[in-house]
A and B are shown apart, each in its own frame.
Chain A
């Protein structure tokens, strides 16, 4: 079974731009969560989607948004990029909301 896939793997943007990241979960998995990982803060939870609905949201500004499609694929968007948004963005999927989460390879975002 294919694992979680994320595209693109690397992105370089400048301040003020916006970016969209994509995540395809493991086949059959219905829950998708997004995390931001930085050296200083570790893994920070962004949001969780299940059945196309946002179920949980972390403590991030409204510039960070996401959505989930009927095939469980998910996207996250960051508008008005700031230097501090440079991070590894990880997507994780699970069968149901309470199950083990499996991570994708991540998207490395650099904001210049």
Chain B
């Protein structure tokens, strides 16, 4: 089982719709969670971080974390064609003072249709 799993997509949504991106992780020691957006040919850009259970909203983006079920999701409201990109989920594992790893999923390709 991969440590961080995402559906590779493509996830196709019409302009103005809500895009829902999901990520599951295997290690209950995971402590912080991040969503990155990566346009083709560019480097990943941090768009959201979430550390505790529940929802965190930032503009059109909402991150949701459920540690009991070991999943984190990203909702994009009023999707725009400019949101078309690959979305990477990243999970930080911390064990004691020695282990501190940031693990990335393989990403979900989102295509917003005009």
- Chain A residues with CB under 8 Å of chain B are 33, 35, 42-43, 45, 48, 55-56, 88, 90, 97-98, 100-106
Q: Return chain B residues, CB-CB under 8 Å to A42.
A: 104-107
A56 touches B46 (CB 8 A): no
Q: Return chain A residues, CB-CB under 8 Å to B49.
A: 100
Q: Which of B15-23, B37-45, B70-78 touches A?
A: B37-45
Which of chain B's residues has its CB closest to A42's CB? B106
A100 touches B107 (CB 8 A): no
Which of chain A's residues has its CB closest to B102's CB? A101
Q: Which single member of A35, A45, A102, A104 contacts B46 (CB below 8 Å)?
A: A102
Q: Return chain A residues, CB-CB under 8 Å to B107.
A: 42
Q: Return chain A residues, CB-CB under 8 Å to B112.
A: none
Q: Does B92 contact A (CB under 8 A)?
A: yes
Q: Which single member of A48, A98, A106 contacts B43 (CB below 8 Å)?
A: A106
Q: Return chain B residues, CB-CB under 8 Å to A103.
A: 36, 43-46
A104 touches B34 (CB 8 A): no
B43 touches A90 (CB 8 A): yes
